[in-house]
């Protein structure tokens, strides 16, 4: 590779693994065939005026067309805006206007919802298998497959002028605590972050240890950090890539079995849904976005699911992945516990845990502080948000707003978001740890602990439970009391109240929406 530039990743794949497959629905393409489609698309878009600095919004699930756009827009020097389709309509439009989208690529899955926006954004490309799918009535509208068919299968002369410091993509935070914040990444930043994630998983004793023989299927949408880098590193190592599109859990399992998928990524709520499918198991998964409850971890392990936990986010990319310490038997119960809580920073990443005064906390496995991160791929800050940037990005460090502890062996446990933790009588109650313990009760399906205002203590914990069987609040309190006796938790951690629900609200990233729960139950 000449530089860390996105389209040079797939150029290398043509040399090493041109016949390897990318599977998307009923479409099966070799990397060589996919690359030809990328070239044709890039040439057609260049003739339409898409070029250096053009911001292109994409609204799609994980498909081969979305993957092709990553590489075609890279060749053009354009900026890819991965639109989060799980944002509210108002937040989604805000992100599109804020990013400065000049073109919109929309799949027919989302076209009905997006149609009212045709007057605001004049340039559209519709992505559909239906060659007669109606085009929107706007200044300029095209069908994706027509652009591929009409383009020349030659490399753009301008592709080699793209620099690794050029902006490749922009994406937005989930907007659970206000308007979404935009983060722009250069080519080298997004590739370094993605490839170091692969290197970490390949080098260390992890549950989700991977290599080039694996068959990958990202269940994290491309709008979320490019599917946690899976738009890049399967091509980087020349591995088979399977894209699930809009398939529900039962179809995802069928796809896993049909295509021989061995490695996936997903948030814990997706893992919970897949474990409800009788034929799911015997795969490796990278999960994260929220703490992995110990009950869910044990359920996955019983089905032959090997896992690792990743910590990171849109505003820092991948930061740390759980590993088994060298002195621990990888097949032991202790190893399972470490994979759930003990994360090691990725290569080239520095992590510190600091108190309110900015001092480092001891590595004793008990002292809680805020997680600070520094890496070569940190962005400059939030796009067009200088005040928010000044508070979060300080002297090359990112203040995450997450509460964590360091163990004596260097393992990092991220316990909670500071805004989600309960501060009772001046003491922190890390809700992630409490949720993990409650999840071990056989009747607890999903649990979220939130803060409820209290006149005496300031805040007290309230547990919201989606149960899988009949259970009472007193039974759950009784389940926690031995943990107090064993010194695992303090007595004041036991929730004052339990609420039982049929469904949990989720954020646009598939995490439990604690903001919505606080609005509903905290009073």
Please indicate whether residue 98 or residue 422 has the higher confidence score (pLDDT). 98
Instruction: Tell me the β-bridge partners of 454.
Output: 458
Residues 146-153: contacts with CB within 8 Å, 24+ apart?
A: 147/40, 147/41, 147/44, 147/45, 148/37, 148/40, 148/41, 148/44, 149/40, 150/40, 150/44, 151/39, 151/40, 151/41, 151/42, 151/43, 151/44, 152/39, 152/40, 152/43, 153/36, 153/39, 153/40, 153/43
Could you give the percent of the chain with pLDDT greater than 70? Answer: 98
Nearest to 367 by CA among 405, 312, 402: 405
For 239, the token pair is 């591995």
Dist. CA 152–CA 125, nearest whole Å = 18
- What's the number of CA atoms in the CB half-sphere (13 Å) around residue 375? 29
27-30 and 21-24 beta bridge pairing: antiparallel
User: C-alpha angle 113/115/120, rounded to 5°?
Assistant: 120
Which residues in 430-481 belong to E strands, given as ranges?
A: 444-454, 458-467
The domain made up of 6-311 is a member of CATH 3.40.50.720 = no
User: What is the end-to-end Cα distance of the chain in Å, rounded?
Assistant: 57
Please indicate whether residue 357 or residue 22 has the higher confidence score (pLDDT). 22
Dist. CA 3–CA 162, nearest whole Å = 9
Q: 421-523, superfamily in CATH?
A: ANL, C-terminal domain (3.30.300.30)
Which residues in 240-316 belong to E strands, given as ranges?
A: 241-243, 263-266, 284-288, 306-313
Q: What element of type H or E holds 374?
A: strand 369-374
Is residue 508 predicted with pLDDT exceeding 80?
no
User: In the prediction, which pLDDT does 201 show?
Assistant: 94
Q: What is the pLDDT of residues 432-446, one digit of tens each?
A: 778 888 988 989 988
| Domain positions in the chain | 6-311, 421-523
3-state secondary structure 178-239: CCCCEEEEEHHHHHHHHHHHHHHHHHCCCCCCCCCCCCEEECCCCCCHHHHCCCCHHHHHCC
Q: What is the pLDDT of residues 218-277, one digit of tens each?
A: 999 999 999 999 999 999 999 999 999 999 999 999 999 999 999 999 998 899 899 999
User: In the prediction, which pLDDT does 232 show?
Assistant: 97
Q: What is the pLDDT of residues 290-313, one digit of tens each?
A: 778 778 888 999 999 999 999 999
Arithmetic mean of pLDDT, 79-104:
94
Neighbours of 390 (CB within 10 A): 11
Q: What is the pLDDT of residues 135-154, one digit of tens each?
A: 988 779 999 999 999 999 99
Question: What's the chain's average pLDDT?
Answer: 92
SS3 of residue 297 by DSSP: helix
Dist. CA 182–CA 172, nearest whole Å = 4
User: In the prediction, which pLDDT does 22 show?
Assistant: 98
Dist. CA 67–CA 165, nearest whole Å = 21
- Domain 6-311 shares a fold with domain 421-523: no
pLDDT classification of 509: cutoffs 50, 70, 90: low
CA gyration radius, the chain = 23
For 318, the token pair is 């991948």
Per DSSP, the residues of 26-52 read TEEEEHHHHHHHHHHHHHHHHHTT--T
Query: At which residue do the structure tokens 């003990």 appear?
Result: 342
Distance from CA of residue 47 to its chain's centroid?
A: 34
Report yes or no: 305 and 216 within 8 Å, Cβ to Cβ.
no
Is residue 56 predicted with pLDDT exceeding 80?
yes
Beta strands across the sheet bearing 444-454: 444-454, 458-467, 497-500
pTM listed for this prediction: 0.86
Q: What is the pLDDT of residues 161-216, one digit of tens each?
A: 999 999 999 999 987 667 899 999 999 999 999 999 999 999 998 999 999 999 99
């Amino acid at each position: 590779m000449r530089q860390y530039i996105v389209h040079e990743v797939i150029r290398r794949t043509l040399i090493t693994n041109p016949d390897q497959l990318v599977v998307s629905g009923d479409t099966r393409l070799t990397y060589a065939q996919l690359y030809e489609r990328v070239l044709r698309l890039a040439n057609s878009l260049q003739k339409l005026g898409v070029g250096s600095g053009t911001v292109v919004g994409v609204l799609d699930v994980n498909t081969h067309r979305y993957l092709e756009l990553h590489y075609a827009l890279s060749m053009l020097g354009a900026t890819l805006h991965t639109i989060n389709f799980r944002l509210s309509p108002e937040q989604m439009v805000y992100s599109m206007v804020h990013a400065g989208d000049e073109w919109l690529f929309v799949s027919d899955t989302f076209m009905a919802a997006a149609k009212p926006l045709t007057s605001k954004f004049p340039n559209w490309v519709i992505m559909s298998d239906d060659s007669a799918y109606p085009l929107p009535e706007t200044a300029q509208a095209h069908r994706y497959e027509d652009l591929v068919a009409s383009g020349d299968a030659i490399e753009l002369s301008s592709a080699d002028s793209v620099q690794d410091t050029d902006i490749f993509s922009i994406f937005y935070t989930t907007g659970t605590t206000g308007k979404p914040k935009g983060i722009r990444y250069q080519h080298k930043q997004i590739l370094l972050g993605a490839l170091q994630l692969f290197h970490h998983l390949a080098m260390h004793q992890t549950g989700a240890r991977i290599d080039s023989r694996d068959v990958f299927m990202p269940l994290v949408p491309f709008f979320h950090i490019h599917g946690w880098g899976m738009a890049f590193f399967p091509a980087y190592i020349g591995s088979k890539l399977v894209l699930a599109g809009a398939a529900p859990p039962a179809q995802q399992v069928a796809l896993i079995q049909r295509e021989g998928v061995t490695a996936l990524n997903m948030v814990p709520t997706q893992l919970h849904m897949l474990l409800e499918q009788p034929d799911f198991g015997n795969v490796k998964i990278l999960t994260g976005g929220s703490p992995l409850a110990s009950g869910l971890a044990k359920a996955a392990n019983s089905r032959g699911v090997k896992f690792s936990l990743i910590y990171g986010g849109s505003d820092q990319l991948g930061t740390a992945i759980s590993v088994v310490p060298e002195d621990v038997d990888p097949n032991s119960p202790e190893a399972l516990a470490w994979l759930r809580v003990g994360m090691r920073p990725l290569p080239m990443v520095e992590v510190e845990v600091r108190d309110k005064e900015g001092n480092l906390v001891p590595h004793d496995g008990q002292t809680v502080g805020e997680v600070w991160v520094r890496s070569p791929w940190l962005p400059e800050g939030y796009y067009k948000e200088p005040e928010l940037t000044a508070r979060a990005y300080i002297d090359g460090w990112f203040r995450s707003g997450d509460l964590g502890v360091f163990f004596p062996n260097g393992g990092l446990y991220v316990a909670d978001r500071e805004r989600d933790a309960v501060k009772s009588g001046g003491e922190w109650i890390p809700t992630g740890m409490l949720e993990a313990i409650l999840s071990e009760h056989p009747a607890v399906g999903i649990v979220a602990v939130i803060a409820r205002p209290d006149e005496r203590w300031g805040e007290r914990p309230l547990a919201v439970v989606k149960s899988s069987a009949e259970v009472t609040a007193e039974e759950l309190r009784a389940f926690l009391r031995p943990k107090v006796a064993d010194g695992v938790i303090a007595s004041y951690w036991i929730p004052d109240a339990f609420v039982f629900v049929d469904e949990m609200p989720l954020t646009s990233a598939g995490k439990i929406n604690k903001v919505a729960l606080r609005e509903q139950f905290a009073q």
